[in-house]
Structure 1
Amino acid sequence: MSDNYAASFSINQPGRDAGILPVNQPGRDTSTSEQSHTEPSANGGSTVSTRENVRPGVSYLAGRLEFEPSIASKLDALITEFRDGKSTKGNTVFEAYDFVNSFPGGTPETRKFALSEFLSTIDSVEILADAARRCGDRAQIGLNHADTTATPRIEYTANAPNDNALIQAASQIGSKRARSEALSDADVGPGRENDMDYRSGEKRAKLTTADLPWHSEALAARQDGRVSCQATQDLLYRYERDPGWVRRQVIISGVAPPTIPPGEWDAIFRGTPVNLDAVFSSVHHVLPPKEDVGRVGSTEIRFSNPEPSKRIQTANDWTTAWDDVSEATAIAFPHRARELKEYGSYIRSEFSAKMPSSHRKIILYDIAIRNFVQGGQRHLLTDFHLFSRFHSAIVAPDGVVSGSGSGTKPGSSSRGRAGGRKIDGSKSEVCHRFNDVGRTCPFSTASCRYIHSCKGCGSTGHGQRDCVQSGRDSRSTS
């Protein structure tokens, strides 16, 4: 490369009258237009070619640089090998760097700038090839787009300071690919139209919603479904992209109820039922709830939700927990605010219609309903006509799971101590402290887990120590 080499080329700048005219290159027809085409590859895909339809001896870089034929032919050969898959990008760049620096003559600025243009061309070939392979578009579309978005280039002379050109070009290797990823229409699914993380440029094929066997049925259900359910599904798809990040943001925002544990926020954003016991345990907790969470960098691994320290036993307990849960759910799904309010009123009316001893059944009834509705993807909490079977099975005395609300532990006897009679459907054992002399039960009739009834006659108005029907007043015995 001679010292006059830098003066033998100039950078074309669209829309600008260049002050330095390029030196004509032997064998080049400057009136010949550029043309792109795709060539079939060995694996059945398409390989993008940036070969210009010009006469022999013209460089791939003809639109950017005017090279001496010996330099142009060598760089063209390297680009062709890279385009055809015969050489990796790293090897191609290394060979070009070694060739440019070993060429006799020339200034360091000239070598750096020539290598920078070569790297830019290699990067363009890679971007267009990847876009054509993913989208199935022809290279002409990509080249037309590249022509319209090309950045202006300044005129170069041998005396211009350009020491950092090679460093800047090297730092851009591979960076344009991530910014120029073409979006595949096959990836489009409900809630994932713009999910860039989902459409990462990995070589392994990604599953899409269209690949799932229930895709067509799900689309039909969305079209025929209610507006509230459709809105819920759209938000769930959005939260599903990064539920951990969404949870952290809502906690930081300051609008969330402080009694909702992180694990229950995850349940809300995933469309699964919330554990009211866990929320109720956080209302008056002294220490923060313990979480079995492992962290690897920014990734959280949740092994299991901690066991709640308290259980909902009464209507007041349920109301306390539900008010916070409904508020949190309405933050994540604003369109469900009215539904949540109506459901809360419905369960409260069920509590008021039953004796306090039967409230445990209403609590189980609520759990069954929320397990059925889930996050509101298909049904609503106000679809009361769908809950009749749960009411019959749990609340009704002859329900198949009516005994689940009795408060007895698995394996314990359901037979009461008052002559084997079961005084109430929810409790079976008589309270000893309520009956024995010198002892007093600290709990009320509703809150005590045992029956406040007489061991002798079975009446609920007094204990055995005050029983007259049994023929003795237990308070007078020593």
Structure 2
Amino acid sequence: MSGDGPESAPLYAPTGLNVQAEVISQCSAVVQQFRDGKFGRPVAFTKIMGIIPNASAEGGPGQQAAHAYLGIIDQVEKERVEAAKRGDGGDGGGRSRSRARSGSPNGGRGHSRSPSPNEGGRHRPRSPSPDEGGRHRSCSPNRGGRHHSRSASLVEGSNSKRQRLNDSMLPWVVKDFIVEATLSPELQKTRNQLIEFAKDPKYVLGSIRNSTRHIAFPDSEWLAIIKGDAVDLNKVIASQFSVSHEPHRAEPIGEGVQILFGSSTPTKSVSTQAEWLTAWAKAADAITFVFPHRRRELDAYRQYIIDLFISSAEHVHQRIILLDRKLRNEAAGRRDLLLSDCARFAHWERSFLNDNGAAYLESKPKAKDGGKGASSGSGGEKRKSEPCKRFNDDRCPASKNSCRYAHICLRCKRNHPVSKCDRPSALSESFGAT
């Protein structure tokens, strides 16, 4: 980038804030000029505060916009300092490299050793000088990335040898600087921890496993928490009652690194209110072990789901369990949503719990009789007498009356799923059949 700046400076627009286009353009120009080194941080702060109307009004949109732009300037300054310390850019890095060489006036070119082909780069095989603060690159790829920039740490398993990206060319990173100022303290803390965990999830998992206070919990779900994914309650409830050793599978999580997990298919699934409460209690304890500040959020979400169970008929409980899975996946897929933001779940409630909800209808078995009702004609009556396979797998979202198949056991034809049947297998009866 030349001293005159790029041909068209990027716009740093505060998403969700009421800021005029002219103000955005002027503030973006100030940020770009500061990035180009045309003036220092105090001047940039003064210019931003002078451009944004009502920037000092407590709690107003002007103050939020000013806070966002000042955060961008702070981040640019931080990256500039880190680059100078690493010696991969900036005047500070160049001076540090010059002092580390021989004391000759030509900057070390008269040294007795032969010049390296990448002289002036940052990977020369020499010991660092005290002026460089001892921040030399380790030969280990796992340790080399610990002093990477924030943009590199956002990528799980980022390689320290990769060339550092320019954050200003990543639109979502620029918007994050702005939106982060409007996030709740809980969301900010969770996001910062996840960014740190992404640097080395294997190390975080090992640290948890070797802690003296961690609870018994499936390794695959510990890793889901570390990565910010939703916990699979089916695996939690399966591990709760399992007395056998699970087979393991290898999962790569980085270059040359694998981690072993139990079977990906749970042997038991959550199908009742009591089972959900049991699995959620374990999951909440595991999540708060990693994120202690989330306890109030998880308790509020637990009460929200319990209220749905209490206020709904029993045949709707399976839909609530499906709704819970959707809500937790939705929150895990974002970084601006708390599970305690229950008011934002109203549309998903309608979709899963109403008889005409899109999600509920999508989960029902599809009709194969040209649109005729399940009970119309002899075909419908035959299907109604057949056991429902989804019911026997504890995953049928339909009620007993609305399902196209009978909610009876595959084995004894009584009103319970096959997983709760006390009758022995019919293998012995069919062994001698011709």
Tell me which interval the TM-score lies in, with the shorter structure as reference length: 0.5 to 0.7
Select the residue among 412, 415, 423 that pairs with 2:374. 415
Structure 2: runs of 5 or more not aligned: 1-93, 385-397, 422-434
Q: What displacement does 1:284 show?
A: 0.3
CA contact (8 A) 2:383 2:405 kept: no
Residue 323 of structure 1 corresponds to which residue in structure 2? 281
Whether contact under 8 Å (1:261, 1:282) holds in the other structure is yes
- The answer to whether residue 245 in structure 2 is matched with residue 288 in structure 1 is yes
CA separation in 2, counterparts of 1:397 and 1:243? Answer: 42
2:110 maps to 1:82: no
Q: Secondary structure at the match of 2:416?
A: coil
Q: Deviations over 1:396-430 (max 9, x none)?
A: 11111223565x59979982566998974664433
Which of 229, 233, 257 aligns to 2:191? It is 233
Unaligned runs of 5+ in 1: 1-44, 55-59, 61-75, 89-125, 134-141, 150-174, 449-478
Q: Corresponding residue for 1:441?
A: 414
1:118-267 maps to which residues of 2 (within 5 A)? 129=120, 145=131, 177-178=136-137, 188-189=149-150, 200=160, 202=161, 204-207=162-165, 209=167, 211-258=169-216, 260-267=217-224
Distance in 2 (CA, whole Å) between partners of 1:410 and 1:293 is: 40
Secondary structure class of the residue paired with 2:150: coil
Alpha-carbon distance in 2 for matches of 1:216, 1:402: 38
Deviations 1:271-321 (A, max 9, x none): 111111111111101213333216899721569961111111111111111
Matched, 1:300 2:264: no
What are the superposed Cα offsets for residues 328-370 of structure 1, whole Å, 9 maximum, x if unpaired? 1111111110010110111011111112111110001111111
Q: Say whether the 8 Å CA contact 1:190–1:237 is kept in structure 2.
A: no
Matched letter for residue 206 of structure 1: R
Match of 2:355 among 377, 393, 397: 397
Among residues 98, 102, 111, which one is paired with 1:50 in the alignment?
102
Q: Which has the larger radius of gyration?
A: 1
Provide the residue aligned with 1:7 in structure 2.
none
**Which position in structure 2 is the counterpart of 1:29?**
none
Q: Is the 8 A contact 1:358 1:426 kept in 2?
A: no
| Aligned counterparts of 1:300 and 1:199: Cα–Cα separation in 2 | 16
Could you tell me which amino acid in structure 1 is paired with residue 164 of structure 2?
K
**In the alignment, which residue of structure 2 is the partner of 1:430?**
406
CA distance, structure 1, for counterparts of residue 320 and residue 312 of structure 2 = 9
Q: 1:278 aligns with which of 224, 229, 235?
A: 235
Matched position secondary structure for 1:214: helix
- For residues 240 and 234 of structure 2, what CA distance do their matches in structure 1 show? 10
Q: Is the 8 A contact 1:361 1:405 kept in 2?
A: no
Pick closer, same or farther for the CA change 1:426–1:280 going to 2, 3 Å.
Answer: farther
- Paired residue secondary structure (1:293): strand
Return the TM-score normalized by structure 1.
0.51
| % identity of equivalent residues | 22
Structure 2 CA distance for partners of 1:418 and 1:333, relative to 1, 3 Å: same
Letter in 2 for 1:285: S
| Structure 2 length-normalised TM | 0.55
**Secondary structure of 1:319 counterpart:** helix
In structure 1, the residue matched to 2:226 is 269
Given residue 430 of structure 1, which amino acid in structure 2 is its aligned partner? A
SS of aligned partner of 2:288? helix
Residues 351 and 81 of structure 1: CA distance in aligned 2, closer, same or farther (over 3 Å): same
CA gap of 1:341–1:425, structure 2 versus 1, over 3 A, is farther
Q: Secondary structure at the match of 2:358?
A: coil
- Partner-residue secondary structure (3-state), 2:171: coil
Distance of aligned partners of 1:428 and 1:207 in 2 relative to their CA distance in 1, 3 Å threshold: same
How big is the shift at 1:212?
Answer: 2.5
Partner of 1:82, secondary structure, is coil
> Which secondary structure state, in structure 2, belongs to the residue aligned with residue 401 of structure 1?
helix
Asked if 1 retains the 8 angstrom alpha-carbon contact of 2:246 and 2:263, the reply is: no
Offset from partner CA, 1:47-97 (integer Å, 9 cap, x none): 84635259xxxxx8xxxxxxxxxxxxxxx96x35624x47x9xxxxxxxxx
Distance verdict in 2 for CA 1:442–1:386, change over 3 Å: closer
List per-residue Cα deviations over 1:143-200 (Å, max 9, x = no partner).
Answer: 8948xx9xxxxxxxxxxxxxxxxxxxxxxxxx995479xx99x95327959x9x9694
State which of 350, 369, 372 in structure 1 corresponds to 2:330. 372
Q: Which amino acid aligns with 2:340?
A: T
Query: Judging changes above 3 Å, is the alpha-carbon distance between structure 1 residues 224 and 301 closer, same or farther for their aligned structure 2 residues?
Result: same
Match of 1:290, SS state, is: coil
Task: Find the aligned partners of 2:158 and 2:406 in 1 and give their Cα distance.
Answer: 61
Higher helix share: 2
SS, match of residue 300 in structure 1: strand
Match of 1:387 in 2: 345
Q: Which residue of 1 aligns with 2:313?
A: 355
Contact 2:323 2:349 survives alignment (8 Å): yes
**Between Structure 1 and Structure 2, how many residues are aligned?**
293
Q: Output the CA distance in 1 between the equivalents of 2:333 and 2:103.
A: 56
Report the Cα offset of residue 209 of structure 1. 4.8
Paired letter, 1:280 = I
Q: Distance in 2 between matches of 1:189 and 1:53?
A: 37
The residue that corresponds to 2:18 in the other structure is none
> CA 1:424–1:443 in 2, change beyond 3 Å: closer, same or farther?
closer
Matches within 5 A, 1:61-76: none
CA contact (8 A) 1:373 1:379 kept: yes
SS of aligned partner of 1:253: coil
CA contact (8 A) 1:339 1:382 kept: yes
- Counterpart of 1:136? none
Go from structure 1 to structure 2 and tell me whether the alpha carbon gap of 1:221 and 1:431 turns closer, same or farther (over 3 Å shift): closer
Distance 1:356 1:405, change over 3 A: farther
CA distance in 2, matches of 1:277, 1:144: 55
Paired with 1:199 and 1:385, the residues of 2 have a C-alpha distance of 41
**How far does the alpha carbon of each residue in 1:447-472 deviate from its partner, in whole angstroms, 9 at most, with x for none?**
89xxxxxxxxxxxxxxxxxxxxxxxx
